[in-house]
Amino acid sequence: EIVLTQSPATLSLSPGERATLSCRASQSVSSYLAWYQQKPGQAPRLLIYDASNRAAGIPARFSGSGSGTDFTLTISGLEPEDFAVYYCQQRSNWPLTFGGGTEVEIK
């Protein structure tokens, strides 16, 4: 099973700041990595697929990069609605796996 390790566990930032979230895979997943946002009491929402492609309706301030084992989700200029938990997920191998999540909290 491919293990995804997200860091940091918690990111404390102010609105308007840039957020950089990391996801590292235990083996190469090529570019088969997605990012999700989850707010309290809500289902997750797909942000990024195949490492760098924004899903439909996702604002341009969200961007993804990386390939192989190291990936980054960047939020350029945090809006109040962006404070949430973010998960990465790989689809390179069965079983599919998620990272443990990064909480972006208001500083």
Partner 1 sequence: QVQLVESGGGVVQPGRSLRLSCAASGFTFSNYGIHWVRQAPGKGLEWVAVISYDGKNKYYADSVKGRFTISRDNSKSTVYLQMNSLRSEDTAVYYCAKDDSGGRGFDSWGQGTLVSVSS
Binding site for partner 1 (CB under 8 A): 1, 32, 34, 36, 38, 43-46, 48-50, 53, 55-56, 87, 89, 91, 94-101
To partner 1, the closest distance from the beta carbon of 39 in angstroms equals 12
> Between 1 and 16, whose beta carbon lies closer to partner 1?
1
CA separation for the pair 48, 17 (Å, rounded): 20
- Give 56's DSSP letter: T
To partner 1, the closest distance from the beta carbon of 34 in angstroms equals 4
